[in-house]
Every structure is written in C-alpha cells, then in structure tokens.
Amino acid sequence: MSFVFDFVRNLFLKMLQLVWFGKRRISNSLCIYVKTNTGNTLAVDLDPKWDIKNVKEIVAPRMGTSPEDIKIIFAGKELHNSTIIEECDLGQQSILHAIKTPHQRLNRSKDTSTIEESSELSDLNDSGGKPMNETLTDLPLDDSDLQENSLKEDHRENRAHFFVYCSAPCRAVTTGKLRVRCATCKSGAVTVDRDPQCWPDVLQPRKITVHCENDLCSAPATISDDTETQVLYAHFYFKCANHASLGEQDEAVPLYLVKPNLRKIPCLACTDVRDTVLVFPCEAGHVTCLDCFKDYCAVRLRERQFQFDDVKGYYTLPCPAGCPDSLIPEVHHFHLLTSQQYEQYQRFSTEEYVLRAGGLLCPRPDCGMGIIPESPDDGTSDEACRRIQCIGGCGYVFCRRCLQGFHVGECELQPYEFFNGMLKSGGYSVDPERAKDAKWDEATMVTIKISTKPCPKCRTPTERDGGCMHMVCTRAGCGYHWCWVCQTQWTRECMGNHWFG
C-alpha cells in the first residue's frame, strides 16, 4: 500500500507542477545551472520571486525523484524551502547544487494523529537554513568589529560588505560575494559547520570544517582517542558581483582593508565621514577615505617613496601617520589607482626588486630592461666584469660602473648626473618630470644617444653611416679599432662572425 500511495502522490505533484508552471509566466528570467550529485548539470530559468521549493519541483522530475528527496545547497548552506530566490543574491549563471537524498519515511504509529503527521511533513519540507550571505548580513569580518552585528535595521540595506579586485572581465575594484567549497575535492556541494566570524576564518586554511556531499571526496583519516575520523575543511573564496558567473573557478582577490564605515569614523586626512573607507593594518587602525588614499598613493608613487619589504617581497606603503608595522600586505589594494598609475607602480616595484637583487637597469633611452648579471667566476678580468649586455631588450652593451657604452680603460666623469625626487634650491622646487621637458638641448642629446655609440677607449660619440662593423676612431691621438656590435676591440672573431652584420 505504501508503494501505491507514493506513486499516486508523485503523479499528482507532477501534474500540479505542469499546470502551475504552465500558467505562470517568468518575468526577469534568471538563468541558473544546477549541479547534481549524479554528475549532471541542468540549466533552468527561474523567476527571482519563486522560492526554493519551486526549484525543487522543477529539478526533481529531471533527476528522477520527488521534491522531498532533494536538498539545495548554495554558498555553504542548505537552503530553506521558503527562501526566496532573490534573497540568495544569485547572479546570472550562478551554480546551485541539488543533492539526491533518501527520503526519511514518517513513523506512523497508532499514537500519531493526522494533524501531527501533517505537521511533521511540513517540518520535513521546510528543512534547511538561510544562505550564508544572509546570515553574514552585518558581519564586517574583523576581530575588532564583532560588536557591530547588533546594528540597526536601517544600516543593513544597500551596503556592500566585501570589496574585491576583479582581474577579468571587469579589471576594476568591485563589490564581492563570499563563496565556499571543499578544500579537498574543490566541490561546492558543502555545508559549513559554522559561519566565519573574522577574516582569519576566511583567509587562513583549516579553520572551519564542512560536510561534503560529493561521493567521490576522500580526506585523509585523523585518529583521535583511538577513533578514526575524516575531517574536511572549508576553502573560502570571493567572486565579483558585477558580472555573470564564469563558473566555480571564477575568483576575485579580496580587498579586506576596504570596509563599510559602520562606526562613522572620520578620515585622518580630510576628516570627512565616508560610507566606504580603508583601514590601515596598524595597531591604531587609522582610517582614510578612498579618495585620500588614492592621493596618498599617487604622491608617494611620484616621489618613489614606496617601501620594499625584503621579508615578504612586496612594494607597498605604511600608514601615513607613521605607525610601526603598518605596511599594506595585499598589494591589490593599489588597484584603486588609475590603470596608468598602477602600471607605473608595477614598473617601480620591478625596478626596485632588480636593484635590491644586485642587478641594474639598462641606461638606453626608452628601454630600462632589468638585468641581473651572473656572478663573475674567479680569475675573470675586470674588463669582462664591467661589460653588460641588455639581453632581451635593446641589446645595448654598456659599462657596469658608469652605465655608458662599454669602453676600455678608466671611466670618465659624466657632465651631469640623473636625479630622483624634488630638486630644491633656495626654496625653488623643481619637478623632475617637468625638468625633462625644459632642457634646451635635450632633443639633440637624445638623438645623439640613440644614433651613435661611444668609442670604447676615448668615449667619443661615433655614428656609423654604412659599411662593415670595423670602426676606427677618428679622434686625434686615439685611432682605436673596435667592433660596432660588440663595442670591444676588433678581433678576428668579430671579422668571422659579423664583419658585414
């Protein structure tokens, strides 16, 4: 009799589903992918006003089961049957996980009335919880901000809680969504044992355990108190909220120093109270608005006052108030700058790394290739140690000491030196960038540098207007024979390899 009862009930539910969904038109359709634990991926169109129970009724026939035998998992939570889809913050092409579970039959004892049975069935159909983004509505994910969970209701709407850098396709700082998957099998069909309470819970591994619904997931066994158990941990990650989901591998970098200004703290520079601020990782937690932070970065970048952390290997800035141990650890925060400024930041960072590693930069105009020469072997001549060639760049051969074209003999003092920073004379400040354009003979000097090479012996600029690579210095008293390619003394090897280029 039980089999007949289930058959009639399922048939009735399917007929009711066809009639109900056939009459209801979907407005503002939401295209969602549903992954099942049987290995299939279903594409369904949903109305954001529907609830999770409607989703189960759509997916159940395609999985060959009844809606009561399915649970829907999203963002680390089993969703409540009465949860409205638009409350889950689903975007286009988001992924839900439908898990087929054995139906728990009701125990119909003689002491159970019809009313009690109906109540138990309602409880069973309404199983699940709220999505994680809803339970974390007012969680700023900061150890010092846990008391902010008791904020008033009027602060809860229209407020971004997570900020990320989306490298593709947005290439910008945007709002983000917190997601979770199994750290072992990378499946998103997991339910977390507890919600994250602070940023270490999210950023550091092995903080929160999960229950994984992937049948193929296997974690190494852990033995405690003579009991062998499998412990699975959560791997949290962020997605951009501004574009349609590109799959479970679509990730964005969390900018965890950028936060909503729940405490209404004024900016340390302009004293304005802004809705979104950056909190420096110093002990005092100094706050700056994003506009002042951009100005602070731009000025320090122009003056090349960023600091290089030798331990962690990044080029960054400290708190402008001079606090110790306040370097920004996540350099993606500098994407708040313009694209041109960030490219300049990357170039300066690379140059600083090369110089600190014992390398040097190609002095050729419009090149600047970073070069890390190999350590000279014992017995290598001084002349060979000074000879550096820009491999992978312009090919320029220059002297390691004076950064001029390679030469034999002692280096000559240059008529002027390059400088960084602001030149000051009697209170008159000069911007180096503007000073480059204010040189009377600058164009002539640049042309000479590009089109000529210095004699390796006397440093006389020499222009080659044709013929072979064998050069003879015409300066009185010099007459040095040298190779245009190697910029060293002319040899039979040069004659055999590149006499005519």
One digit per residue, pLDDT tens: the chain, 501 residues? 566 666 666 666 666 555 544 444 445 678 889 998 877 888 989 888 888 989 999 988 888 888 888 999 998 889 888 888 888 878 888 899 999 886 554 443 434 333 333 333 334 444 456 666 555 544 556 545 444 444 444 444 444 578 999 988 898 899 998 999 999 988 899 999 988 888 889 989 999 999 998 878 876 656 555 566 678 999 999 999 888 888 778 899 999 999 988 889 999 999 999 999 999 999 999 999 999 999 999 999 988 889 888 787 889 999 999 899 999 999 999 999 999 999 999 988 988 888 888 888 888 877 888 888 876 555 556 666 788 888 888 888 888 888 788 887 777 655 444 444 444 444 445 556 666 566 565 566 666 666 788 888 777 778 887 788 899 887 666 788 988 888 888 888 888 888 776
- Give residue 141's pLDDT: 60
- Give residue 437's pLDDT: 61
- Give residue 415's pLDDT: 46
Predicted TM-score of the model (pTM): 0.65
CB 198 within 8 A of CB 142: yes
Our CA angle for 463, 467, 473, nearest 5°, is 45
Please confirm, yes or no, whether 170 is among the known catalytic residues: no
- Give residue 225's pLDDT: 55
User: CA separation (Å) from 191 to 21, 34, 39, 210, 236?
Assistant: 30, 16, 19, 6, 12
Strands (E), 158-301: 163-166, 172-182, 190-192, 210-212, 221-224, 227-230, 234-240, 253-254, 258-260, 276-279, 287-289
Residue partners of 2: CB distance under 8 A and separation at least 6: none
Residue partners of 15: CB distance under 8 A and separation at least 6: none
Percentage helix, strand, coil, to 5, in the chain?
Answer: 30, 25, 50
User: CA separation (Å) from 422 to 306, 349, 415, 418?
Assistant: 15, 20, 20, 12
Separation of alpha carbons 126 and 402, rounded Å:
78
SS3 123: helix
Give the relative orientation of helices 2-23 and 52-63 as an angle to the nearest 10 degrees: 120
Q: Which residue is listed with tokens 């509505």?
A: 137
- Give residue 224's pLDDT: 54
Cβ neighbours around 411 below 10 Å, total: 14
- Give the torsion through C-alpha atoms of 500, 400, 377, 470, to 10 deg: 20
Q: Pull the structure tokens for residue 396.
A: 């320029």
Q: Going by DSSP bridges, is the β-strand pair 397-399/387-389 parallel, antiparallel, or unpaired?
A: antiparallel
- Give residue 383's pLDDT: 66
- Return the exposure string of 444-475: e unless at least 16 CB atoms fall within 10 Å of the residue's CB, then b: eeeeebeeebbbbbbbeebeeeeeebebebee
- Give residue 129's pLDDT: 61
SS3 228: strand
Q: Pull the structure tokens for residue 178.
A: 């917190």
Q: Which of 217, 362, 468, 473 is catalytic?
A: 468
SS3 354: helix
- Give residue 343's pLDDT: 93
- Give residue 298's pLDDT: 94
